[in-house]
Structure 1
Amino acid sequence: MKQWDRAIESLDLQAITDMCSDHFKVFDVSSQQNNVSEFKQLWEKYSGDFVDDVRVYRRKVEIHAKSDLAFMHCYSKIDYADTTRALNLPWCRTTFCFEKIQGKWKVAHQHISIPNSLH
């Protein structure tokens, strides 16, 4: 997750897509991407919003893992590292499914939703 978050923070699209499995899918609050190429296009669309100094924040992280399959769910958001500024993005529920392929963990699925309230 640290590698994923660093790639998101720097908008390193190659690193992001390299961490995805070939059958990667994303379901988020407003769209669905059915493969890595569509996911990359989504990030290219938002590249202007990630100018500098952004950070991925997570809380209430829970990980459930077996030898070649793992799930992580948490609340997450992207915001400026400098707390005097704010992107005004909401906290989202985030779920990742990872699978180990040839000894490397890859993201196979991601789901993001905006909860009505955060308990």
Structure 2
Amino acid sequence: MATLDQCRAALERLAQNLSTAEGDVRSAAALDRSLSCRIIDLDVTFLGRLADGTLRDITSVPGPPPQKAQIRLTMAGDDLVALVDGELNFAKAWATGRVRLEAGLRDLLRLRTLL
């Protein structure tokens, strides 16, 4: 099971990856949206903001998110680490229920480039 520090490090790597992305990935990440990532096995939620092509202001709170973010992810810590490390395909994990993504239709359409 991934630790809280490993999950935080994975999100920081994701933020770095997004900030150096180019083309379609860069434009898809250019949304300005609140984001939550609930790690069910650690009972913690990471909160942040997807803005200007990167993930910013990452914080964590115990339990479920205090408010509903515009883009919401739910998964196990190991899955977060595997996704960021490129060991787990997002589309396959989403299709099999290992990862849950909730967002408005317009956001889902833009995010599909990232997935």
For normalisation by structure 1, the TM-score amounts to 0.31
For normalisation by structure 2, the TM-score amounts to 0.32
* Max Rg structure: 1
